[in-house]
Amino acid sequence: MTALDYVPDNYDQFEKYERQQAELEARWPKCPLCGELLEDEAYRIDDALICWDCAHDWLEEQKEAVEIDMDE
């Protein structure tokens, strides 16, 4: 079979798309805390880009630390 005899089908197109997506994801920034891709939004805390969930957790920790300091 030569290259001219082969016609790519939908599955070939799907595999090509999946390879391209994997290559993009390998270069895309990830949250250093949870490893999720930073697709839509990210927050910079202490010179690190983190996802919304981790930023929310960080803010809750800061809130608890302030409340403890205020109680003492």
Give the pLDDT confidence score for residue 64 in this predicted structure.
85
Q: Are 57 and 34 in contact (CB under 8 A)?
A: no
Task: Please choose, from the candidates 15, 44, 18, the residue with its C-alpha nearest in 3D space to the C-alpha of residue 29.
Answer: 44
Q: Are 62 and 43 in contact (CB under 8 A)?
A: no
The one-character DSSP state at 4 is T
Cα separation, 43 vs 34, in Å, equals 14
pLDDT in tens, 2-50: 657 888 899 999 999 999 999 998 999 999 999 999 988 899 988 999 9
The one-character DSSP state at 46 is T
Give the pLDDT confidence score for residue 72 in this predicted structure.
64
Confidence (pTM):
0.61
